[in-house]
Amino acid sequence: MNIIQKSALSAALLCLPVDLNNAYAHENHCDAIAKSVEEAGFSNSVEVTCNDDNAIITSNTFPTHELMTGIVGTNEQVPVPAQYSAPISLEPSLGSTPLTRDAALGVAVNGVPIYDYTAGGEMTLDDLQHHQERHDTYQTKQLDICGGHAGRGDDYHYHIKPKCMIEQMANKDDNPIIGWAFDGFPIYGDKNPDGSTITAGELDVCNGKMDDIFGYRYHTSAEAPYIVQCLMGEVSDFDRLPRVRPLSPIGGGRVEAGKPPRGGVDDLVFTKLENGGYSMDYSYDGEAYYIRYKATESENCYLFETKTVTNNGAVKIGEYCR
């Protein structure tokens, strides 16, 4: 069965009656999305509002779990809070062609964006059929122990199963929804909602399958593609889906993206400082490097002091804003 055939079959299933006894079969899709955030225990840091078309999940993309620990292939970027409003379709409908983009495909229930497993650009439809080993953020050790890292916009996001977030969830033992794709379909963990095992080959090219309640759902998986790698549903204004605005120098200009040191770094640690700021420290070829920053009195601005491999060890100080 090809992708188009699968999509057509899944679309037909959307017309099936919904089990009204299911915990997530709420009066409408907005309630289901809000309930998933509430039951996970993230309502204090994540806001859900709805308009005629979308549920908007708003957060600062900065989770409370451990960050950056375990990264070897660092791009010398750090996680900086970023206001993020993720639109989740309230009328999910399966399309005929998988959608890809070089940015988030959805958002976790803690407000952190969810990307596909790759880095370095948008996947083509042909790429979806073959594992992109050299762009695999997990295999190239670009991710922390929680399944995420900071991207080129100094924004934290997930590329594989968000392990640490799931451990924080108040309903983690219930095999809950862990996020939502922009097309309106839910994202679950490695198992079916009823706790049963997903067999090999059961998930489609986007890492999803048909669902009796929502019509379709996505899953994480132990093997590539690990998480949502494309969207099976239709998305209005697809080209206008949110992107995190990169930091820029307070005097204007732009910040060049960090370059992963050849062979990776050692002992990368991210800590919160006594002054309220943050520091990412690591070593390369026996020399210590760091990126330290703290919020200033200006909104969305941070004072940085850095010594990076990208800048050949030169110490730089400057204020950067979103």
Per-residue pLDDT at 232:
98
Per-residue pLDDT at 13:
34
Q: Confidence band (pLDDT; 50, 70, 90) for 254?
A: confident
Question: So where are the chain's domains?
Answer: 3-240, 248-321
Decide if pLDDT at 27 tops 80: no
Alpha-carbon distance of 159 to 272, in angstroms, equals: 23
167 neighbors 187 (Cβ within 8 angstroms): no
DSSP symbol at 291: E
Q: Is the dihedral of CA 7, 8, 13, 14 positive or negative?
A: positive
Per-residue pLDDT at 23:
32
Decide if pLDDT at 276 tops 50: yes
The CA dihedral of 51, 94, 130, 219, to the nearest 10 degrees, is 60
Tens digits of residue pLDDT in 301-316:
999 999 999 999 999 9
- Mean pLDDT score of the chain: 91
Tens digits of residue pLDDT in 203-238:
999 999 999 999 999 999 999 999 999 999 999 999
SS3 track for the chain: CCHHHHHHHHHHHCCCCCCCCCCCCCCCHHHHHHHHHHHHCCCCCCEEEECCCEEEEEECCCCCCCCCCCCCCCCCCCCCCCCEEEEEECCCCEEEEEECCCCCCEEECCCCEECCCECCCCCCCCHHHCCCHHHECCCCCCCCCCCEEECCCCCEEECCCCHHHHHHCCCHHHCCCCEEECCCCEEECCECCCCCECCCCCCCCCCEEEECCCEEEEECCCCCCCCCCCEEECCCCHHHCCCCCCCEECCCCCCCCCCCCCCCCEEEEEEECCCCCEEEEEEECCEEEEEEEEECCCCCEEEEEEECCCCCCCEEEEEEEC
| Tokens 């880095």 belong to residue | 119
Q: Which residue has the higher pLDDT, 55 or 23?
A: 55
* % of the chain exceeding 90 in pLDDT: 85
Tens digits of residue pLDDT in 69-98:
999 999 999 999 999 999 999 999 999 999
3-state secondary structure at position 249: strand
289 neighbors 281 (Cβ within 8 angstroms): yes
Whole-angstrom distance between the N-terminal and C-terminal Cα of the chain?
46
Alpha-carbon distance of 167 to 64, in angstroms, equals: 12
Strand pairing partners for 150? 156
Decide if pLDDT at 150 tops 60: yes
Q: Is the dihedral of CA 239, 11, 123, 84 positive or negative?
A: positive
Exposure letters 238-250 (e unless 16+ CB within 10 A, then b): eeebbbbebbeee
Tens digits of residue pLDDT in 100-144:
999 999 999 999 999 999 997 899 999 999 999 999 999 999 999
261 neighbors 253 (Cβ within 8 angstroms): no
| Tokens 């800590």 belong to residue | 271
Q: Confidence band (pLDDT; 50, 70, 90) for 257?
A: confident
Task: Select from 13, 215, 219, 206 the least CA-distant residue to 125.
Answer: 206
